[in-house]
Amino acid sequence: MKLLTTPGLSALLVLLACLPAAAHHNGATYFDTSTSIEHSDATVVEYAIVNPHGRLHYTFTDAEGNEQEWSAELASANNLRRRGLGGEIFKPGDQLVSVTGNPSRSGANFMRLQSAEFADGTVANFSGPNRGIIPGPGRDAQQ
């Protein structure tokens, strides 16, 4: 996984913190914002920067040993690009300790991404007032 430099991380932290609080869609219509689900040991398949919403595709192995494929919705491509987040966060093959989000009300393998944690402890947080890239303890050691 390509690691960001410290200035790059700082910039991302600031830029993510500036993401608008108001999205175009009322998220609670499509996702159950009262609860979160978490998937462990996920592998990134694709990080798509598109409109009307970006998408993180990933797989993980459930408790029964079955591989599941899921998608997590992000802000729009224009929002992500305008804030310098055009595809540098996730790459295919990245290993994620966990992926957390609000589940779709439809019951599909689909969520609204809240956060994802990398193996080095770095957290990409897309929800709430502390949105941003929070470097983990292992990230500095690898730089």
Partner 1 sequence: MLSLRVNLGQLWSPISAAGAAAVIFALMAGPAAAQADFEGIWNPDHPPRMGQPDPSTVRLTPAGQAEFDSFTPDKDPTLRCLMPGIPLGLVDPYPIEIVQQEHQILILYEHFHQVRRIFMDGREAPDHWLPSFIGYSTGEWDGETLVIRTTHMRPDNYMWTAGFPFSGDENTYVIERWWREGDVLQFTGEVHDPTYYEEPYVVGGRWDYAPDGEIWEYECIPEFGGIE
Query: What is the C-alpha to C-alpha distance for residues 129 and 19, in angstroms, rounded to an integer?
Result: 10
| Residue 100: CB minimum distance to partner 1, A | 18
Q: Which of residues 4-23 bind partner 1 (CB under 8 A)?
A: 20-23
Contact call for residue 34 and partner 1 (CB under 8 A): no
Contact call for residue 128 and partner 1 (CB under 8 A): no
Cα Rg of the chain (Å, integer): 15
Query: What is the C-alpha to C-alpha distance for residues 114 and 67, in angstroms, rounded to an integer?
Result: 22
Contact call for residue 52 and partner 1 (CB under 8 A): yes
Q: Which of residues 65-124 bind partner 1 (CB under 8 A)?
A: 71, 73, 77-79, 81-82, 104, 106, 108-110
Query: What is the C-alpha to C-alpha distance for residues 2 and 109, in angstroms, rounded to an integer?
Result: 28
Closer to partner 1 at the Cβ: 22 or 141?
22
| Residue 102: CB minimum distance to partner 1, A | 12
Query: What is the C-alpha to C-alpha distance for residues 30 and 26, in angstroms, rounded to an integer?
Result: 8
Structure tokens at 116: 């994802």
Q: Strand 67-73 and strand 110-118: pairing?
A: parallel
| Residue 37: CB minimum distance to partner 1, A | 15
3-class SS of residue 104: strand
Closer to partner 1 at the Cβ: 6 or 37?
37
CA diameter of the chain: 42
| Residue 39: CB minimum distance to partner 1, A | 16
Residues at the contact surface with partner 1, assessed by CB under 8 A: 20-26, 28-30, 48, 50-55, 71, 73, 77-79, 81-82, 104, 106, 108-110
